[in-house]
Structure 1
Amino acid sequence: MNKRIIVGISGATGIQYGIRALELLKEQHYETHLIVSKPAEMVRSYETTITHEQLVSLAHEIHLAQDIGSVLASGSFKTAGMLIAPCSIKTMSEIATGVTSTLMSRAADVVLKERRRLVLLLRETPLHLGHLRSMTAITEMGGVLMPPVPALYLKPESVDEMITHSVARALDLFGIDIDVKRWDHAYRNSLKK
């Protein structure tokens, strides 16, 4: 199994998903390659107290969003795939149309063309027809759209617990097993008591 994964953080609300993904991947000894868009840097300053330096220290390597010459722009650089968390509509739309104006969309395009796993934690609501068509296009190309919907049946006690569960479910799609509460027969029976 390839233990190298690309993590993209785009400029949608919910940068905490990307941060938690980096933390969990570090715990699992994955080599992470991080791309942070300029709008994501703005969101980081609005939504968290984490500094840019603290964010990039979570990754093994940082790649500038404008660096189209990065190794991530080449299919010969083998990875397990790419997680974009959160994924903005702009980033999703670029990927859906093949308009790769940044390293984030180019790396996702490479992941798709190499038939690797692409998972997008899309953060937007409500959706119009153009969004839905872009979502369909990505799905038809082999990507997975996973809006981070909280599993309230688990009765989470904090926002962090909800974020961790959503990220763990996204990492499941790469075959990465994170120890979190899950829906199963024993858990269902415990709810009946």
Structure 2
Amino acid sequence: MTEAVSPAPKRIVVAISGASGAVYGVRLLQLLRELGGVKTHLVVSDAGWLNLQQELDLPREQVEALADVVYPVRNIGAALASGSFQCEGMVIAPCSMRTLAAVAHGLSDNLITRAADVMLKERRRLVLMVRETPLNLAHLRNMTSVTEMGGIVFPPVPAFYNKPQSIAELVDHTVSRVIDLLGLPQPNSPRWSGL
């Protein structure tokens, strides 16, 4: 009798940039860990670290412990910078307008924007949880550009049809939608069943 071979874990790149909404990146890491069968690769910008501290009072070590592998944002020679790095996709949660602009214009000036560029050129899933309001024309044009290249612009707009009772429930619903976009099964995720 031969032993069953476990499938290799699916690799997901998670980036946290300097927009408000650091909770989305943290919760994404937590939910991906709970799913099992996923190996997370984390990159955080300098402004992302500031927001994690400001918004969530989370020390760097606690955030890094949520990921399987952590890369410095300036390590442009990391595995993520190459199309030969096999992964299912990447989520920038949250995605600042600066990061959006760099992705839209192919400015691979740090590991976040280079990894995003790799996702686009390799035709892999790239989800940008853009955080800004109101939007100016530059923001809208950059969103259009990323969409035309195959990326998914996913502003974390809360849904109220599930009658959320807390901010945590709003965040979980939004992050679960992002995980759906990555094609990962979530058996316990609440689904709309109609009226």
Same fold (TM over 0.5): yes
Deviation at 1:182, TM superposition (A): 2.0
Q: Verify the 8 A CA contact 1:99 1:105 in the aligned structure 2.
A: yes
Of 6, 11, 14 in structure 2, the residue corresponding to residue 4 of structure 1 is 11
Counterpart secondary structure, 1:112? helix
Aligned match of 2:88: 80
Deviation at 1:58, TM superposition (A): 0.3
The whole-number CA distance in structure 2 between the counterparts of 1:36 and 1:59 is: 11
Decide which moves more: 1-10 or 136-145. 1-10
The whole-number CA distance in structure 1 between the counterparts of 2:96 and 2:191 is: 27
Counterpart secondary structure, 1:33? strand
CA distances 1:113-165 after superposition (whole Å, capped 9, x unpaired): 00000000000011111111100100000000000111111110110110010
Counterpart secondary structure, 2:47? helix
In the alignment, structure 1 segments of 5+ residues that lack a partner are: 189-193
TM-score (norm 1): 0.94
Aligned match of 1:15: 22
In the alignment, structure 2 segments of 5+ residues that lack a partner are: 1-6
Aligned-pair identity (%): 50
Structure 2 residue 97 is matched with structure 1 residue 97: no
Counterpart secondary structure, 1:75? coil
The whole-number CA distance in structure 1 between the counterparts of 2:185 and 2:167 is: 21
Structure 2 residue 146 is matched with structure 1 residue 138: yes
The whole-number CA distance in structure 2 between the counterparts of 1:124 and 1:170 is: 18
The AA in structure 1 aligned to 2:167 is V
* Structure 1 stretches of at least 4 aligned residues deviating more than 6 Å after TM superposition: none
Deviation at 1:45, TM superposition (A): 1.1
Counterpart secondary structure, 2:179? helix
Q: Verify the 8 A CA contact 1:168 1:177 in the aligned structure 2.
A: no
The whole-number CA distance in structure 1 between the counterparts of 2:22 and 2:153 is: 17
The whole-number CA distance in structure 1 between the counterparts of 2:47 and 2:62 is: 17
The AA in structure 1 aligned to 2:32 is L
The whole-number CA distance in structure 1 between the counterparts of 2:142 and 2:114 is: 16
Deviation at 1:107, TM superposition (A): 0.2
TM-score (norm 2): 0.93
The whole-number CA distance in structure 2 between the counterparts of 1:177 and 1:51 is: 30
Aligned match of 1:191: none
Select the structure that is richer in helix: 1
Deviation at 1:84, TM superposition (A): 0.5
RMSD over equivalenced CA pairs, Å: 1.1
Counterpart secondary structure, 1:154? coil
The AA in structure 2 aligned to 1:41 is W
- Number of paired residues? 186
Deviation at 1:99, TM superposition (A): 0.8
The whole-number CA distance in structure 2 between the counterparts of 1:109 and 1:3 is: 20
CA distances 1:9-61 after superposition (whole Å, capped 9, x unpaired): 00000000000000011112210000000001111111112211010000000
